[in-house]
Amino acid sequence: MSFTDNFGNPKGLLGKLMLVTMEKEHLPMAKWAFTLMNIPQSGKICDIGCGGGYNVRRLLEKSAGAKVYGIDISEESVKKAKKINRAELGSRCEILQGSAECLPFADGELDMATAFETVFFWKNIKICFAEVRRTLKAGGKFIVINNYGDPKIDWEKKVPCMTRHTAQEIKSLMQSAEFDCISLSEKGTLFCVTGVAK
């Protein structure tokens, strides 16, 4: 398995290295995104594609009483996320292995769902967005944070498991999945799209 194969589903030693690299690379984006969020202080929040769990930890720090879930398809990511958030596991935090196509929540269970630099690895993105909508209560928010990256790089060629989406494409996908009040914030190559579940 090559280093780039680990982008979408980190495995083994290369996967562990990838998780460390991702946290360092994504930190400026995460800091910016958190300045835009109105994080619930109670209820349930899920970070989908949580990677090493660093944004789960940030959500825990910024919400006084909400329960925060992290879910990732990668076993390595789940292990890392549990380690990073071990102080809150079993009380305010739960880390699960799973896919955005089949989230382990009841209809209308979540108050917020986040997706940091992950939706371009979702193979059936329309199904995934519909699944996120299913799990959010009316008025719940779905927040997608991405980085366009260097426009000179052909990312799909460099990382075959990746499909880049523009902010406008993400907005259209949210509309199709019955999200309302869709807003877009941009900073350089970063963008954050927020939709409210109808």
Domain range annotation of the chain: 4-197
Please list the residues that pair with 197 across neighbouring strands.
179
Q: How far apart are CA 137 and CA 148, in angstroms?
A: 30
Please list the residues that pair with 147 across neighbouring strands.
190
- pLDDT tens-digit readout, 43-78: 999 999 999 999 999 999 999 899 999 999 999 999
Q: Is 0.85 topped by the overall pTM? A: yes
What are the φ and ψ backbone dihedral angles of 192, each rounded to 5 degrees? -135, 120
Average pLDDT value for residue range 111-122: 96
Q: Does domain 4-197 have CATH number 3.40.50.150?
A: yes
Q: How far apart are CA 12 and CA 6, in angstroms?
A: 9
